[in-house]
Amino acid sequence: MIVCSCNVFTDHDIRKAVSGAQPPRTPGQVYGCLGCSAQCGRCVRTIKKIMDEALGACAKSCCSGCPHTAAHAAVADLDVPAPVEMHASAAVGVAA
């Protein structure tokens, strides 16, 4: 399934990105691994959900004995712009 229509990547692309030895820990890092950056930001929650499912127990913060401990130490904050919300009247072209 296409997750990001701005950059055209799929859930399979995300799972492949997080399957490496040092997986990305944020949606912003996933964009970087896939060679792009966030555009509208609408897919961020879906990316995070797929990451959590793919990493399982490692999606929890700093699990002990985790083979991805080095990646946990390199956690960066989400660097994705928040989606722009439009007023309902702006969406239909009516002046407020």
How far apart CA 70 and CA 74 sit, in angstroms, is 7
- Predicted confidence (pLDDT) per residue in 22-55, tens digit: 889 999 999 999 999 999 999 999 999 999 999 8
Find where tokens 């060679």 sit.
35
Query: Mean of the pLDDT values across residues 8-30?
Result: 93
Q: How many CB atoms lie within 10 A of CB 48?
A: 16
Average pLDDT, the chain: 75
pLDDT higher than 50, residue 5: yes
Q: Residue 83 in contact with residue 41, Cβ under 8 Å?
A: yes
The token pair at 16 is 């492949």
How far apart CA 63 and CA 32 sit, in angstroms, is 24
Query: pLDDT band at residue 57, thresholds of 50, 70 and 90?
Result: low
